[in-house]
């Protein structure tokens, strides 16, 4: 089948209760699209149903529960008849140095940030393959390309997230399915709130480092999250959407510098690397 043209699209969005998820859910509904909006606490998105009626289906969803993921995807498809756009948006950050983090905290982070999105992807792909079209978007971060101390495990989850989606893009292209990785820089969302940050144990040996890092982070220019909706709509409407999309003006310069520095080091050590070929 060919992708729907000039019709309202059907979205499935995880983490619709706050931050980017709420903004993008609202943007899709405001233009007349249909949305299966999901959140761990379905009461937190009840206002969408009151405001947009039959155009929205609110569903409880904890992405770390595979059976609940399957049920939510099936319910959304059964209700609307198709799934055109899927946004994996649920996630949080673990604050801890590499030494401080407890194994159970790292596992929980990956359950939400990596395995949860994978569960959603695996649930929607059979539907999209049968349709012959679809667009999967994943909310990553500019930290999918470099790291910041204290949130290295969060950064690592986004590196994994990026690799999975890039591989996915090649694998599903023959089925008419598109993939886009969304990479925001710092935004004034609830992502820095206690609900989106989890802390592991504290070791006083790292107090000076933490003070320095937090001071730096507080100085970051933060974008207006409401300004991102137009970018997301532009991407989902594009005939050939990009594999990656930065959100914010500062990503390109910063990440270019990061990769230039990596290439410089690789080049400096190329003789050693080449000799290791044998």
Catalytic residue (one of 9, 93, 157, 158): 158
What percentage of the chain carries pLDDT values higher than 90? 78
CATH code for the structural domain at 10-247: 3.40.50.720
pLDDT tier at 181 (50, 70, 90 boundaries)? Answer: very high
Per-residue pLDDT at 3 exceeds 80:
no
Q: Which residue has the tokens 């999975």?
A: 164
Query: Does the annotation count 196 as an active-site position?
Result: no
pTM (2 d.p.): 0.92
Mean pLDDT of 160-170: 97
pLDDT tier at 157 (50, 70, 90 boundaries)? Answer: very high
The pLDDT assigned to 262 comes to 96
CA distances from 203 to 132, 150, 194, 214 (A): 52, 12, 20, 16
The vertex-71 CA angle with 144 and 19, nearest 5°, equals: 40
Residue 137, token pair as written in the block:
């978007």
Tell me how crowded residue 77 is: count the other CB atoms within 10 A of its CB: 21
Mean pLDDT of 86-90: 93
Are the CB atoms for 38 and 24 separated by under 8 Å? Answer: no
Q: Which residues are CB-contacts of 65 (< 8 A; sequence separation ≥ 6)?
A: none
Q: Which residue has the tokens 């931050």?
A: 19
Are the CB atoms for 84 and 176 separated by under 8 Å? Answer: no
Are the CB atoms for 125 and 69 separated by under 8 Å? Answer: no
Q: Which residues are CB-contacts of 251 (< 8 A; sequence separation ≥ 6)?
A: 142, 183, 185
Catalytic residue (one of 34, 154, 157, 178): 154
Query: Does the annotation count 158 as an active-site position?
Result: yes
Q: What is the spatial distance between Cα 139 and Cα 152, in angstroms, rounded to a whole number?
A: 17
Query: Does the annotation count 34 as an active-site position?
Result: no
Catalytic residue (one of 82, 140, 156, 157): 140
Write phi, then psi, for 41 (nearest 5 degrees). Answer: -110, 105
What percentage of the chain carries pLDDT values higher than 70? 95
Per-residue pLDDT at 196 exceeds 80:
no
Mean pLDDT of 34-63: 95
Per-residue pLDDT at 178 exceeds 70:
yes
Are the CB atoms for 72 and 38 separated by under 8 Å? Answer: yes
pLDDT digits (tens, 9 = 90+) for 234-270: 999 999 999 999 999 888 988 999 999 999 999 999 9
Q: What is the spatial distance between Cα 60 and Cα 45, in angstroms, rounded to a whole number?
A: 9
Mean pLDDT of 194-211: 81
The pLDDT assigned to 50 comes to 92
Mean pLDDT of 139-155: 92
The pLDDT assigned to 152 comes to 94
The pLDDT assigned to 193 comes to 47
Q: What is the spatial distance between Cα 143 and Cα 162, in angstroms, rounded to a whole number?
A: 10
Pairing type for strands 177-184 and 134-139 reads parallel
Comparing 93-107, 134-148, 196-210, the range with the smallest average pLDDT is 196-210
Write phi, then psi, for 159 (nearest 5 degrees). Answer: -65, -45
pLDDT tier at 200 (50, 70, 90 boundaries)? Answer: confident
Comparing 72-76, 130-134, 143-147, the range with the smallest average pLDDT is 143-147
Write phi, then psi, for 98 (nearest 5 degrees). Answer: -60, -40
Dihedral angle sign, alpha carbons of residues 157, 163, 167, 169: positive
Q: Which residue has the tokens 């959603």?
A: 120
CA 260 to chain centre: 25
Mean pLDDT of 94-121: 95
């Amino acid at each position: 089948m060919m992708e729907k043209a000039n019709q309202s699209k059907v979205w499935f969005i995880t983490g619709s209760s706050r931050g980017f998820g709420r903004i993008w859910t609202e943007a899709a509904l405001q233009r007349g699209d249909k949305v299966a909006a999901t959140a761990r606490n379905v009461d937190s998105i009840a206002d969408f149903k009151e405001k947009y009626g039959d155009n929205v289906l609110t569903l409880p969803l904890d992405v770390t529960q595979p059976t609940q993921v399957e049920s939510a995807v099936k319910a959304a498809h059964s209700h609307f008849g198709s799934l055109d756009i899927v946004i994996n948006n649920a996630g949080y950050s673990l604050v801890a140095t590499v030494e401080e983090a407890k194994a159970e905290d790292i596992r929980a982070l990956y359950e939400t940030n990596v395995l949860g999105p994978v569960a959603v992807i695996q649930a929607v792909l059979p539907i999209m393959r049968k349709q012959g079209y679809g667009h999967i978007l994943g909310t990553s971060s500019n930290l999918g390309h470099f790291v910041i101390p204290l949130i290295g495990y969060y950064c690592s989850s986004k590196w994994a997230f990026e690799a999975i989606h890039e591989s996915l893009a090649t694998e599903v292209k023959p089925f008419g399915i598109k993939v886009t990785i969304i990479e925001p820089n710092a935004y004034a969302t609830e992502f820095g709130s206690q609900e989106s940050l989890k802390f592991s144990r504290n070791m006083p040996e790292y107090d000076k480092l933490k003070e320095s890092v937090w001071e730096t982070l507080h100085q970051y220019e933060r974008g207006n999250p409401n300004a991102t909706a137009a970018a997301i709509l532009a991407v989902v409407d594009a005939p050939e959407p990009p594999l990656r999309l930065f959100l914010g003006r500062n990503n390109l310069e910063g990440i270019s510098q990061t990769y230039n520095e990596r290439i410089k080091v690789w080049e400096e050590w190329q003789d050693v690397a080449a000799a290791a070929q044998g």
